[in-house]
């Protein structure tokens, strides 16, 4: 089955309002006149979501979708600092990162919290980009597949086939994020294949064949093509290299 690739730029806690707006504008201009076969997703800070949404269709053609980096596990109410799924959805957000390793590590996001967030994403028609991946010690022990399967089992297993079908998975080995150390193509293909196998086992063949699995972790213009050529890689979740329009464009081109 041919899956449409998704190239997502995770801007993390970078860029002030003017530079976020400029980057969105530059990406729009670069993509506007091209025939792009991939889905493009920009994931700015929640503070800048609406500005980036405002730039996604300035000349009548929508060039990218907008995502959020996180969502509250609560639906509404007295949760100071949180943004609800309803708020994000009504601000034009279409995708939400769930369980990025930085949130798992610095904000103690465990599977109970992630399940609450996933539930609200599905309720408010937000597509979750569910992040998983092992740390270096886990890989060195040879337990990387078991680790990722456990992350999937502890969260996604609670949801229906239709909900899982509406999910994007991002495999991001923690040791490759922001380190300049990319997993080899063989390591990436092995893990993506293992994730697809797990999805098939817990849903059905059609879901396993159609679900998109992105690679993330030091994906750059010079290694993107080889990574995207792996049969089970359906695009990338790009951090550092998504902050420069030219680099992000080069990565999009590598997917074509």
Nearer to ligand PGA, 196 or 236 (CB): 236
Residue 48 is a catalytic residue: no
**CA distances (Å), 18 to each of 15, 52, 143, in order?**
8, 11, 44
Residue nearest to ligand PGA (CB): 239
- Give min distance, CB of 97 to ligand PGA, in A: 8
Nearer to ligand PGA, 99 or 203 (CB): 99
- Give min distance, CB of 82 to ligand PGA, in A: 22
Nearer to ligand PGA, 208 or 227 (CB): 227
Nearer to ligand PGA, 72 or 218 (CB): 218
Strand, coil or helix: 64: coil
**Positions that interact with ligand PGA (CB under 6 A):** 10, 172, 177-178, 216-219, 237-241
Tokens of 24: 């969105």
- Give min distance, CB of 154 to ligand PGA, in A: 21
Compute how many other C-beta atoms are within 10 angstroms of the C-beta atom of residue 97. 26
Residues 164 and 32: their CA atoms lie apart, in Å, by 32
Residue 144 is a catalytic residue: no
- Give min distance, CB of 68 to ligand PGA, in A: 14
Q: What DSSP string describes 64-127?
A: -EEEES---SSSSSS-TT---HHHHHHTT--EEEES-HHHHHHS---HHHHHHHHHHHHHTTPE
Q: Which residues are catalytic?
A: 100, 172
């Amino acid at each position: 089955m041919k899956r449409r690739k998704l190239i997502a730029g995770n801007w993390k806690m970078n860029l002030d309002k003017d530079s976020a707006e400029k980057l969105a504008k530059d990406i729009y201009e670069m993509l506007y006149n091209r025939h792009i076969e991939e889905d493009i997703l920009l994931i700015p800070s929640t503070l800048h979501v609406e500005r980036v949404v405002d730039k996604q269709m300035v000349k009548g053609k929508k060039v990218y979708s907008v995502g959020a980096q996180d969502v509250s596990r609560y639906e509404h109410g007295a949760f100071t600092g949180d943004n609800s799924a309803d708020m994000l959805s009504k601000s034009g957000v279409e995708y939400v990162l769930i369980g990025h390793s930085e949130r798992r590590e610095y904000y103690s996001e465990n599977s109970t919290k992630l399940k609450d967030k996933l539930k609200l994403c599905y309720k408010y028609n937000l597509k979750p980009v569910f992040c998983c991946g092992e740390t270096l010690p886990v890989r060195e022990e040879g337990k990387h597949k078991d680790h990722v399967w456990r992350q999937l089992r502890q969260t996604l297993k609670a949801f229906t086939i239709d909900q899982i079908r509406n999910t994007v998975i991002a495999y991001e080995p923690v040791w490759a994020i922001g380190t300049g150390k990319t997993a080899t193509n063989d390591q990436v293909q092995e893990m993506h294949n293992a994730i697809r196998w797990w999805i098939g086992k817990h849903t059905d063949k059609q879901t396993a064949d159609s679900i998109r699995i992105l690679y993330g972790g030091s994906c750059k213009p010079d290694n993107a093509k080889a990574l995207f050529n792996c049969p089970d890689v359906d695009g990338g979740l790009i951090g550092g290299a998504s902050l420069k329009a030219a680099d992000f464009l080069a990565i999009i081109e590598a997917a074509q």
